[in-house]
Structure 1
């Protein structure tokens, strides 16, 4: 990629940072750094500045001042995502990597090192690996998965319900997805707390990201070895026995992909949806009045605050053009989902509600669209509903202006969500839901029912948290 300062089409105005931005946010030739304080403090602000200066596709610098293109436009993101013949997911095409600029300890190594997973290949191999993922995910029973989510939600709430206060990021939004996913993958629950820390560290692209990645892989290697000896009704065993005949390494790498993607997206989705429900009067009124369901609130959050604000990456397979920018073969493209979701070309009023509209790009698009998005949605809406049923008067314990976020290269998440509520007693131990010998979360035959999209749930009776929500609204 040619920096704007050296491009014959660039004018002098593009060679200097905007006056409202600190100079260290920009590198040589006035190209914006997509890392560091400025990018992590206000990524959306940076995206809009870049859109204003460059349009739908902007030149940026990644850690180590490696050049890349940031795709900001909705239609352009879809164009890139849907045309693997021009923009491949195979990182071996990356010119910077071929030139030796991505060292083993580089923070982007866990994201850009080729691995035998469906996310990094195209064509027949992609269809084979992706088919194994889709078929295995489809074997989960919707009701069984939701029972797991409710059980783990109650366990987490029992840990803090007597205190009358909780940080819903650290006490709920982060541990719940990892507890559910380790269960679905057939992993030991003891891995959960450390896996949360390792996953966060990897996604921040820190200096210890490589070591964190190794911890995750070691846990998965042990799980695969155990499932060879003692298979069960879980995602790992189903991948091992799939007709696609994945190798152990292929299974381990796909487990890593599913585990990390599900954790980050779902933890952020839960935290952001809870913030919306607890702080937005319009959302509270719509929920209380029946004009919005909890799944509607989840979709609104996916539009406004997608779990991944940007994602590496696509690599150009040939010299091409995108939104007036000349992309060279081997260039890296970063897809800015958060910016695309508020593109005025498709969303003129970003404050308007988008109930029932799933055309956001929170889960990308095209052949590499997230395969487990409905499990993420189920964890979010089932977990939040169970939480608020247990704690119907839960409320934010600080002013909304005191909430803070931390952003990395690919994600932005709440640091904390302090809440308070009337102390409650823990639930008594629940009796087994199924007869001995049955396993919750699966059906006994290979014709298990896939998890349907929860966009059209059957009407549910108002629970106590709905009544409490209505009372709080009408007391205002």
Structure 2
């Protein structure tokens, strides 16, 4: 029975029961437990609440996620049809807007507008990568390690994984190193959500707007200049929006992935010795992490372009859907034994799928391979400084991040 105050098509109206929140204390400490409980209660698609008590459908099933990601005609990325936003239930101050709101960038659009903008981003990223991504990664990896190499101890999250991707990205975008370091916290806060998310997002856009203004008069060999000069003819708002997209998406996912790769290596001596001896390739460890701990646990977002059925539920036009990448990768229908090796299997959801699949995944993987290689060869005797079970993580709606990775080395 629909409450007369509940909007048409809202998952609350559909189920008439208190919904699980993908934020708050429980979500911060046990997101995997929430995903599995929802799978048991609702199947491959579950009604949930996001920050601000905003209703959404969480897609938990692998096949259902692929259907959503691969079919933009049914499930659009264009947030202008998001009913709760259009009706004013999600205002400009909502912490969801930085992650879900419409922008003049390629991830907010489908069809020809998407193809035009994505071509510009892909071309610019390829040009940037061709100018020495591995060299930049090695340079900044060594620079970060220099700061703690003589101490015999470090926290590889705060001292290494959080900053290294941003330093490389700053070089690619054309930002001064100091500005890149300052933006680490702002990017993290956008993903964490909460009251400060919108303010941090505005700060990122302000800094990038100033960068684009500089590059119009002082072009260089960087991503900002490449976007400004691309034949697709991007306007200033489009350039700033794409620099923001690359900065937030690439930094948060790469730093999280690097931390998880290092965690896996340092909690398994056979993997650690295999990497040091050359018997094991870093890319194999990355692949394993992509399946078991994808850097984005939940991908925002898609919007139903019409009334339809998904996972046994009636989804209505304008409904918001968020993609459970971590849950989909562990879907028992496609992976009944999660302990079986996934080596050589790249069918995970970590990079999304379909027209909006991550265009910079090769850059991120190259950076991680260099980061791990430099670290292991610079720090002989690298080992965890705590027991593996003492390591902890904190989750937001969108990701689960390792809190710290304390290590010792030398001696």
TM over 0.5: yes
Runs of 5+ in structure 1 lacking a partner? 11-27, 424-476
Runs of 5+ in structure 2 lacking a partner? 1-8
Q: Deviations over 1:416-446 (max 9, x none)?
A: 10001127xxxxxxxxxxxxxxxxxxxxxxx
Q: Deviations over 1:31-76 (max 9, x none)?
A: 1111111111111110000001111000111112111100001111
Q: Deviations over 1:181-229 (max 9, x none)?
A: 0000111111122200000111111201111011111110111111111
1:157 is aligned to 2:151: no
Alignment of 1:59-458 (within 5 A): 59-142=47-130, 144-284=132-272, 286-287=274-275, 292-422=280-410
| Matches of 1:58 and 1:226, distance apart in 2 | 47
Structure 1 residue 392 displacement after superposition: 2.2
| Matches of 1:275 and 1:139, distance apart in 2 | 32
| Matches of 1:296 and 1:253, distance apart in 2 | 33
Q: Deviations over 1:362-381 (max 9, x none)?
A: 01000001111111111111
Structure 1 residue 3 displacement after superposition: 4.2
Alignment of 1:24-39 (within 5 A): 29-39=17-27
Structure 1 residue 344 displacement after superposition: 1.5
Structure 1 residue 282 displacement after superposition: 4.7
Q: TM-score, normalised by structure 2?
A: 0.95
| Matches of 2:305 and 2:70, distance apart in 1 | 14
- 1:54–1:141 distance in 2 versus 1, CA, 3 Å: closer
- Paired residue secondary structure (2:142): helix
| Bigger radius of gyration among the two | 1
| Matches of 2:138 and 2:18, distance apart in 1 | 50
Q: Contact (CA 8 Å) 1:312, 1:334: kept in 2 or not? A: yes
| Matches of 2:341 and 2:227, distance apart in 1 | 40
Structure 1 stretch 311-320 or stretch 103-112: which is displaced more? 103-112
Q: Deviations over 1:294-345 (max 9, x none)?
A: 1111111111100000011000000000111100000000100000011112
Structure 1 residue 103 displacement after superposition: 1.6
| Matches of 2:273 and 2:109, distance apart in 1 | 46
- Paired residue secondary structure (1:85): coil
- 1:163–1:100 distance in 2 versus 1, CA, 3 Å: same
Q: Contact (CA 8 Å) 1:292, 1:355: kept in 2 or not? A: no
| Matches of 1:409 and 1:366, distance apart in 2 | 23
| Matches of 1:176 and 1:145, distance apart in 2 | 12
How many residues are paired up?
A: 403
Structure 1 residue 350 displacement after superposition: 1.0
Q: Contact (CA 8 Å) 2:10, 2:319: kept in 1 or not? A: no
Structure 1 residue 123 displacement after superposition: 0.8
- Paired residue secondary structure (1:284): helix
Q: Contact (CA 8 Å) 2:11, 2:57: kept in 1 or not? A: no
Q: Contact (CA 8 Å) 1:3, 1:29: kept in 2 or not? A: no
Question: What's the C-alpha RMSD, in Å, of the aligned pairs?
Answer: 1.5
Q: TM-score, normalised by structure 1?
A: 0.82
Residue equivalent to 2:45? 57
